Amino acid sequence: MRIGQVGFGGISKEINLAYVPEAKVGNYVIVHVGFAISILNEEEAHRVFETLHELNAMDNPDLS
Amino acid sequence: MKYVDEYRNSKEAELFANAIRKSTTRPWTLMEICGGQTHSIAKYSLQDLLPETISLLHGPGCPVCVTPINLIDKAVHIAAQPNVIFCSFGDMLRVPGSKENLLTVKSKGGDLRIVYSPLDALKIAQDNPQKEVVFFAIGFETTAPANAMAIYKAKLDDINNISFLVSQVIVPPAIRSILGSSENRVQGFLAAGHVCTVMGYQEYEPISQQYRIPIVVTGFEPLDILQGIYLCVKQLEEGRAEVENQYSRSVRKEGNLSAQKIIQEVFQIVARHWRGIGEIAQSGLGLREAYAQFDAENKFPHEVHSQERSTECISGLVLQGIKKPNECQAFGKSCTPESPLGATMVSTEGACAAYYRYQSV
Ligand code: SF4
């Protein structure tokens, strides 16, 4: 089973990568009880903020 | 930490709260499924950001809370055996059993070890071949891949001095049970992001259609939860009932297929008893016949007659969103995290503990 070093804001832990076979060095992963269960999709990660900016633009049309 | 801190920004939270306020014309009652979400809601006082017309009910998604008392009693019995090393997540130690909890066993000299992952228990078994190691395999779909892998590895590597006391439950049957109850008030659900990371969300589509109810797969950070609420309210206001995915940075529709494969290999669907709620058909996972040798209930056969002690505790109603923790007589008085009457006061994911920690009593 593939094991990787995963940093959690300062500390680093050995995490089992069996469920994210495509994980590469530099990826962000979601970890639960010692296992990575997904690779974070960095494009999707920005969507929350895009929605917010759209909402904001609807409120303040002059600023957009 | 990247991809964490930015979802806690209060200015942006305020923007979402604004959008929710603008799109709400009527009262709506939503339920967040997951105890991690309940914890965030209490910690960041998210309810205070919402208009009064939106109420949040806290759901049953706290694995420690729903583990049945019968299994706590079995755990206590097994952990007290002389040749046993009993491994568990730390939260389980204070959960009340009929007479004792696991902490009592430890104080009487039982070999109890708190582990971070079921793989740690596997390692302990390899290092102590003369001992019987038992792991308390509790949890929802999120923990199932880890537990399944530990069991799969035990068989593969012929580690025969380990067994698992399994209390695995799954979310969709609990949602159906809540929606089917005559007391149900929930009009929209925030589904649990990490559960859906593993299982995907196809299973929620027939539930949403059958009960005409919005289900939004939602993350755990304040901005995730606010966006989940926004999407849910928007559906309700527009008369839609669909499954939407707020937590798309982690959740794919089909989930994590390699995790599902190992879960399927090791576990089968069984009926499970949920503490405070009762038995729910097809709501849990049990070991398949091929893995029966790793079942601690087979290895340590023992009849227990379990009985709940406190009559004051309404944690069953709290877990179903029928009552809030602060509506309980004992809350903060005879029941605190140091001496909990119910499991919802023990786990950090329990609604009573979250209220106690973050709200002034
Ligand atoms: S506050 Fe304590 S006694 Fe009341 S419901 Fe919660 S756990 Fe039970």
pLDDT class of B236 with cuts at 50, 70, 90: very high
pLDDT class of A9 with cuts at 50, 70, 90: confident
ipTM associated with this complex: 0.85
**A contact set with B (CB within 8 A):** 1, 8-9, 16, 18-21, 28, 30, 32-35, 37-38, 40-42, 44-45, 47-49, 51-52, 55-56, 59
- The whole-number pLDDT of residue B3 equals 57
Separation of alpha carbons B245 and B49, rounded Å? 22
Contact assignment for A21 to B1 by CB distance below 8 Å: no
- pLDDT higher than threshold 70 for residue B361: no
Report the residue from B1, B19, B143 with minimal CB separation from A55. B19
Q: In a mutagenesis test of the A interface, which of B14, B18, B217, B256 is the best target, namely the one with the most A β-carbons within 10 Å?
A: B256
Give the start-to-end residue ranges of the domains of chain A. Answer: 3-63
Given ligand 1 and candidates B66, B311, B314, B361, which is best to mutate, with the most ligand atoms within 8 Å of its CB? B314
Q: What is the pLDDT of residues B316-347, one digit of tens each?
A: 999 988 899 999 999 999 999 988 999 899 98
Quick check: CB of B313 below 6 Å from ligand 1? yes
Cα(B332) to centroid of ligand 1, in Å? 8
Q: What is the pLDDT of residues B11-27, one digit of tens each?
A: 788 888 999 999 999 99
Contact assessment for residue B345 and residue B356, using Cβ atoms and an 8 Å cutoff: yes
Query: How close B246 comes to chain A (CA, Å)?
Result: 8
Given the CA of residue B352, which atom of ligand 1 is nearest to it? 6
Query: How close B184 comes to chain A (CA, Å)?
Result: 31
Residue type for position B324: K
Strands A11-16 vs A3-8: parallel, antiparallel or unpaired: antiparallel
- The whole-number pLDDT of residue A11 equals 85
Take atom 3 of ligand 1 and give the residue whose Cα is closest: B313
Given the CA of residue B310, which atom of ligand 1 is nearest to it? 3
- The whole-number pLDDT of residue B5 equals 66
Query: How close B51 comes to chain A (CA, Å)?
Result: 18
- pLDDT higher than threshold 90 for residue B299: yes
Contact assignment for B259 to A56 by CB distance below 8 Å: no
Contact assignment for B146 to A18 by CB distance below 8 Å: no
B276 in the Ramachandran plot: left (φ > 0), alpha (ψ -120 to 50) or beta? left
Cα(B246) to centroid of ligand 1, in Å? 32
Contact assignment for A19 to B259 by CB distance below 8 Å: yes
Q: What domains are there in chain B, each with its CATH number? A: 1-313 (3.40.50.11740), 315-358 (no CATH)
Report the residue from A9, A30, A33 with minimal CB separation from B250. A30
- pLDDT higher than threshold 80 for residue A5: yes
Chain A hits for B7, CB-CB cut-off 8 Å, are: 48
pLDDT class of A61 with cuts at 50, 70, 90: very low
Instruction: Give CATH for domain A3-63.
Output: 2.30.30.140
Contact assignment for B15 to A56 by CB distance below 8 Å: yes
Give the burial string for B215-235 (b: 16+ CB within 10 Å, else e).
bbbbbbbbbbbbbbbbbbbbb
